[in-house]
Structure 1
Amino acid sequence: MSDQAEKLRKKLKTIESTPAKTIAVVSGKGGVGKSNITVNTAFSLVQKGYKVLIFDFDIGMGNINVLLGTDTKYTISDYIEKNIPFNEIIFPGPNNISYISAGNGFSEVLELDNIFVQRLLEELEELQYQYDFILFDMGAGATNANLQILFSVDDIFVVTTPEPTSITDAYSMMKYIVLKSKENNLFLICNRSEREKEGILTLNRLQTVMKNFMNKDIYSLGILPEDSHVRKAVIRQVPFYTEFPSSSVSVKLEKIVQNYLGKKQYAISSTQSNPFIRKLRSFFER
């Protein structure tokens, strides 16, 4: 009887609540500052009163806990391999941030039995009603381990730098996403730009080629400058947004977050719908 009551309580909660906005932060290659942008975007959202969870999906190379200056007892791998309860792999970070650390073995999740898959989906579904935003820090490139999440989230932040190789890789990543799923909203961020004009040219170039060759409109969120405060914050294992709030990179990040929140795509159409879980479940059931 108690189990039925608990299921009913959860059902009523999902009807009355709005699911979290889900965002995947990706890059075509490593080393462009993707994880740093994920962490500092989360802190900007928390400062605005939102409840935020960072889910580190850079399996085997996750560094969210390092950037936060914290450590965790369990990771997502422990949840999979040792059957650790899901709520025990969610850890508190500074300023009321919550996060889940990456771990080895998550690439095997799609090969596991249906019982485990259903358990994971139920956990993620309930998790969505505990937060306003869930930010997935994805591994660099497109791998089988993260595609289901990538194609199911509401929005995707694509991080590039002005370097030609980074631009090419960002285009390849976006092209791959669009070919697989045209529904995702793609948002561009240019990081580590020495000059504003350089960043603008980078974003314009990517927007143009995606429109011309893929017939896909890409939203430009903004440019983050090369700033020594970022390195200082990483060394101190603190977010630059809170440690150096007046720095040029923090000011620009704030504009990026404001730009995102101002987009029409931010609004969730129905409080009773949950497109993230619906799409994720359809991928698992294929």
Structure 2
Amino acid sequence: MRDQAETLRIKIMQAEGQLGKAVAVVSGKGGVGKSNFTMNFAIMLGSQGKKVVVVDMDIGMGNIHILLGESAPDSLSDYLKGEKELSDVLLHTSYDVDYIAGGSGMNTVLEWTPVMFEKLIEAFHALLKQYDYILFDMGAGATNWSLDLLMSVDDIIVITTAEPTSITDAYSMMKYIHLRDAEKQFYLLCNRALSQQEGEETTSRLKLVMQRFLEKDIYVLGSLPEDVIVRQAVREQTPFSIGHRNAAITKALKIVVLRFLDEPNQEDIPKVKTNFLNKLRSIFSKGRD
């Protein structure tokens, strides 16, 4: 009865006001520039008038705050443990984007309690009411928690590079998710491409494989070039889209963002139809005893 009552409560809250979308950014392997993409992508969305919050889900290895040149003494785990309020861990920047740090103590949330999960649902609902997009910067590798979250979000942005291992891992990630939820929308991006041709060949290859073997169409966002500006921006601890507005990668990222916003499924954001919270609760109740 409690699960039914909670589902009804969420539906009522959804009807009271429109909710944003939950989007996960993933990669099959580490080292593809996922976190850098996520933060700069969020900033670019902000420049297009969207309200965005980034939640760093790289458990124990969160680095979003480092890319921003900021310290993050409080994290999501502090909120879940009841040590901080959501307003304490929700950090604001001057770049049209807010964020919640991962924190080195995040591994404690792997031992879920009912109270923690209720707080998680409350936090995500509050964020969905306040923002057009929650961007989850997922850690490399798969855990029970990260897979639960991926199966719940509305859309998934998959980051790959042209390296064969990265392509294979990206396909494996999409295949795993697709076989469990064939309706999940994938957006594909090739990062660190040495040329536009290399980026196009990489995304085309993955798109073709998904169509041929899984009968699944994915939306290609394009590619971002290998650019020394990225390393320079990391050293400067300023997002490249802010510190290097005229760089080739910044211009390419703007095209990617506009493609994401122009894709048919992105019209009329925010949307009431999101069922992220319901899916997350359903998966949690079935998969956690």
Query: TM-score, with normalisation over the residues of structure 2?
Result: 0.90
Q: Compared with structure 1, are the counterparts of its residues 192 and 269 closer, same or farther at alpha carbon in structure 2 (3 Å cutoff)?
A: closer
Q: How does 1:173-212 map to 2 (within 5 A)?
A: 173-212=173-212
Note if contact 2:58-2:102 (Cα within 8 Å) is conserved in structure 1: yes
Structure 2 residue aligned with 1:42: 42
What code does the residue aligned with 1:190 have?
C
Q: What is the CA–CA distance in structure 2 between the aligned matches of 1:180 and 1:268, rounded to whole Å? A: 27
Q: What is the CA–CA distance in structure 2 between the aligned matches of 1:275 and 1:267, rounded to whole Å? A: 17
Q: What is the CA–CA distance in structure 1 between the aligned matches of 2:234 and 2:254, rounded to whole Å? A: 18
Note if contact 2:57-2:138 (Cα within 8 Å) is conserved in structure 1: yes
SS where residue 191 of structure 1 aligns?
A: strand
Q: What is the CA–CA distance in structure 1 between the aligned matches of 2:51 and 2:168, rounded to whole Å? A: 35
Structure 2 residue aligned with 1:136: 136
How far is the alpha carbon of 1:234 from its aligned partner? 0.9
Q: What is the CA–CA distance in structure 1 between the aligned matches of 2:213 and 2:271, rounded to whole Å? A: 35
Deviations 1:29-49 (A, max 9, x none): 000000011001111011111
How far is the alpha carbon of 1:67 from its aligned partner? 0.5
Deviations 1:81-105 (A, max 9, x none): 3532222111112323211000245
What code does the residue aligned with 1:52 have?
V
Q: What is the CA–CA distance in structure 2 between the aligned matches of 1:111 and 1:224, rounded to whole Å? A: 38
Note if contact 1:27-1:158 (Cα within 8 Å) is conserved in structure 2: yes
Structure 2 residue aligned with 1:157: 157
Note if contact 1:16-1:272 (Cα within 8 Å) is conserved in structure 2: no
Note if contact 2:91-2:100 (Cα within 8 Å) is conserved in structure 1: yes
What code does the residue aligned with 1:248 have?
A
Q: What is the CA–CA distance in structure 1 between the aligned matches of 2:46 and 2:272, rounded to whole Å? A: 24
What code does the residue aligned with 2:85 have?
P
Q: What is the CA–CA distance in structure 2 between the aligned matches of 1:273 and 1:52, rounded to whole Å? A: 18
Note if contact 1:110-1:284 (Cα within 8 Å) is conserved in structure 2: no
Query: TM-score, with normalisation over the residues of structure 1?
Result: 0.91
Q: In the alignment, is residue 98 of structure 1 matched against residue 98 of structure 2?
A: yes
What code does the residue aligned with 2:161 have?
T
What code does the residue aligned with 1:187 have?
Y
Deviations 1:102-154 (A, max 9, x none): 02454453542323312221221122101111110001122212112211111
What code does the residue aligned with 1:83 have?
E
Structure 2 residue aligned with 1:64: 64
Note if contact 1:154-1:275 (Cα within 8 Å) is conserved in structure 2: yes
How far is the alpha carbon of 1:180 from its aligned partner? 2.1
Note if contact 2:157-2:189 (Cα within 8 Å) is conserved in structure 1: yes
Deviations 1:237-275 (A, max 9, x none): 111111111111011100001001011111369954441
Q: What is the CA–CA distance in structure 1 between the aligned matches of 2:274 and 2:206, rounded to whole Å? A: 31
What code does the residue aligned with 1:101 have?
A
Q: How does 1:264-275 map to 2 (within 5 A)?
A: 264-267=264-267, 271-275=271-275
SS where residue 216 of structure 2 aligns?
A: coil
Q: What is the CA–CA distance in structure 1 between the aligned matches of 2:108 and 2:182, rounded to whole Å? A: 26
How far is the alpha carbon of 1:19 from its aligned partner? 0.9
Q: What is the CA–CA distance in structure 1 between the aligned matches of 2:273 and 2:87, rounded to whole Å? A: 24
Structure 2 residue aligned with 1:24: 24
Q: Which deviates the most, 146-155 or 78-87?
A: 78-87
Note if contact 2:210-2:216 (Cα within 8 Å) is conserved in structure 1: yes
What code does the residue aligned with 2:62 have?
G
SS where residue 26 of structure 1 aligns?
A: strand
Deviations 1:175-231 (A, max 9, x none): 111122222100100011111111111011111111111111111000101111111
Q: What is the CA–CA distance in structure 2 between the aligned matches of 1:273 and 1:28, rounded to whole Å? A: 29
Note if contact 1:16-1:271 (Cα within 8 Å) is conserved in structure 2: no
Identity across matched positions, percent: 45
How far is the alpha carbon of 1:12 from its aligned partner? 8.3
Q: How does 1:233-252 map to 2 (within 5 A)?
A: 233-252=233-252
CA RMSD of aligned residues (A): 2.0
